[in-house]
Chain A
Amino acid sequence: MDGSAPGTRMADYLREHQDKVIGRWTELVVAGVRGRITADEVRRELTDLFSLVVRVVSQADDHAAGELRAALDELSRGRARDGFTPRETALGVFTLKEAVYELVADAADMVPEFLAFSQLVDDLGLRTFEAYSAAREEIIADQATAMLELSTPVVRLWDGIIAVPLIGTLDSARTQLVMEKLLDELVATGAGHAVIDITGVPTVDTEVAQHLLKTVSAARLLGAECTISGIRPQVAQTIVSLGIEFGDIATKANLADALALALRQAGLKVVPALWSKCRSSRSGRRCSSPSRSTCRTRP
């Protein structure tokens, strides 16, 4: 038994057979990626990893483990972003075991070393899988955020009146976004009235109601009055049975009613337009009757 560090024999063995191992490893990985990455590219990636693995096996320096972990994380994230399956990504690591095993299979004295090496590779493979998972979750979260943004428009209904049609559930994340967009729009337009339409919100329970109340509170701090519209009959029943109080916030069945209320509060009124096609207007005299049938200057 020589007095050198435990991994030295394996590290020396790996270095000795470097080309063969990397060659075989590359072959196995290329078979798995089905042409999506070139063999040269794969070989380059694996050569870098290989030298890091050897350093870790030989336990020569303390930084090697950290560098190897970082390199694997980076590789896994890339694979996840590029749409590779978890299996394909992890196999990229596990195939190293296969490549090495094929060489040591006949060397009985390398068995204990190989076992230790095998454990190391298993650990790396699991780590790869974790990094891949985390990257996928990040992508999903980004997509969710993008969807949230798209489904929260703020529209201008009239001068000084804006509306937020909510589609889908109103959870805490959504509420934050709604508040931000609504308030930014209030500042940008100087609007004094906001209509929050909940026709597209499937259920209104105590939590949703609290989110709505919060949103109204925030808008009021910016001097805007709010109306909640889109109260469907079933929703109305649920609200009452849950004992939810909207206090002094006006609520309406639909957007049209809410708009009418907002216009009234703004001191505006909608009236029929004056019929202005009276022929006499060409001659300079203008008929003020509201419609063609009552025009008095008809020729």
Chain B
Amino acid sequence: MDELPIRSGDDVVRVRQQVRTAAADNGLSLVDQTKLVTAASELARNTLVHGGGGTARVEVVKSPNGRIGVKLHFSDEGPGIADLNLALTDGWSSGNGLGLGLSGARRLVDEFELTSQPGTGTSVTVVKWSR
């Protein structure tokens, strides 16, 4: 398990590289790798831009029936999200920059968990399984 700081744009790049390596090393197809790294990029940027910086964790996991997957965890101690439902709706597909990219990131992964408390922070956990 690796814990990475997210304090700058360079950190986002490092997170992407780490995720790419983990995905490639654990049997994810090229398309799945791309999806996971893209989701990681979205979530890392959110942590940086909206969360005021935070951390990312990359983990390799195993499902009960033996499949291998890559689990990512992003957390920050920022302002948090007041309306989770609103944050997860598809209001940003035109790329207008106001959306948090969460709904898109969710579509790219197999498992998605979001917890947020206004004033305390936000944490997002996602998993992508190899096929």
Contact = CB atoms under 8 A, between A and B. Distances in A.
Interface residues of A, number: 6
Contact of A134 (B31, B66, B131): B66
A138 B31 CA distance: 22
A176 B65 contact: no
Query: What are the nearest 6 A-B pairs in CB distance?
Result: A134-B65, A180-B31, A134-B66, A137-B65, A176-B31, A138-B65
Nearest to A183: B31
B66 to A, nearest CB: 7
Contacts of B131: 145
8 contacts: A134-B65, A134-B66, A137-B65, A138-B65, A138-B66, A145-B131, A176-B31, A180-B31
A145 B131 CA distance: 10
Given A134-B66, A138-B65, A145-B131, 5 more contacts: A134-B65, A137-B65, A138-B66, A176-B31, A180-B31
B34 to A, nearest CB: 11
Interface residues of B, number: 4
A137 B66 CA distance: 11
Interface in B84-131: 131
Contacts of B65: 134, 137-138
Interface string A118-147: 000000000000000010011000000100
Interface string B38-70: 000000000000000000000000000110000
Interface of A: 134, 137-138, 145, 176, 180
Interface string B1-37: 0000000000000000000000000000001000000
A176 B35 CA distance: 12
B30 to A, nearest CB: 9
A79 B116 CA distance: 48
A145 B130 CA distance: 13
Nearest to B30: A180
Contacts of B31: 176, 180
B50 to A, nearest CB: 28
Contacts of B66: 134, 138
A145 B29 CA distance: 14
A283 B22 CA distance: 74
A285 to B, nearest CB: 60
A176 B131 CA distance: 12
Nearest to B67: A138
A132 to B, nearest CB: 12
Nearest to B131: A145
Contacts of A145: 131
Nearest to A180: B31
Nearest to B29: A180
A134 B131 CA distance: 15
Nearest to B65: A134
A181 to B, nearest CB: 11
B87 to A, nearest CB: 23
B115 to A, nearest CB: 27
Contacts of A134: 65-66
A137 B64 CA distance: 13
A145 B65 CA distance: 17
A176 B107 CA distance: 13
Contacts of A180: 31
A138 B131 CA distance: 11
A88 to B, nearest CB: 22
Nearest to A137: B65
Contacts of A138: 65-66
A138 B63 CA distance: 13
Nearest to A73: B66
